[in-house]
Amino acid sequence: MLTDHLTPETVLFADRVDGWRDAIARVARPLLDSGAIRESYVTAIVDSIADGGTYIDLGFGIALAHRRPEDGVVRTALSSLRVAEPVLLNDEPAHPIDLFLCLAATDPHSHLETMSELAELLSDETLRTELLAATSAADTRAVLLKIGQNA
């Protein structure tokens, strides 16, 4: 569940970041610090984006940074970084991002499970708006706890 992964330690906020590379480094930091990923995973994400990987732009100013398990995933984990000023993903004006998520999944099942919950959250306009308005980890958790209640 998203509430298992997005905790006060993995939900980050920043007034400003120095470009998309800095945003990726910051959103990945809690996963590195906890040992959920290796540095090679962050490198693979940055390289993928630099090679035109703007496919991680989910719309609504949200990007989901991720790569394959063999790129350095140790255990399934998720983190988020909300930035006050949007960052241009891969420096492209068509991709302004103010919420970065970093997903590390060990296998297809955990990847699909997390993606399913994210899809439910982001496709619900009310929940998405509340998530993007969150200013603390507690606000974020309150939104996540509402997933599935509107079904």
Residues 35-83 pLDDT 10s? 999 999 999 999 999 999 888 999 999 999 999 999 999 999 999 999 9
Question: DSSP 3-state assignment of 8?
Answer: coil
pLDDT average, residue stretch 103-109: 88
The single-letter code of the amino acid at 39 is E
Nearby residues of 151 by Cβ (< 8 Å), 6 or more positions away: none
In a domain, 151, yes or no: no
In a domain, 150, yes or no: no
In a domain, 51, yes or no: yes
Token readout for 123 is 């496709």
Phi then psi dihedrals of residue 14, to 5 deg? -145, 135
In a domain, 140, yes or no: yes
Active site residues: 66
Instruction: State which residues form the domain around 61.
Output: 2-144
| CA 90 – CA 92 distance, rounded (Å) | 5
135-150 pLDDT per residue, tens = 999 999 999 888 877 5
CATH number at residue 65: 3.40.930.10
The number of residues in the chain equals 151
pTM of the model: 0.92
Nearby residues of 98 by Cβ (< 8 Å), 6 or more positions away: 61, 62, 82, 83, 84, 85, 86, 87, 132
In a domain, 42, yes or no: yes
In a domain, 43, yes or no: yes
144: left (phi over 0), alpha (psi -120 to 50) or beta: alpha
Instruction: Report the domain count for the chain.
Output: 1
In a domain, 106, yes or no: yes
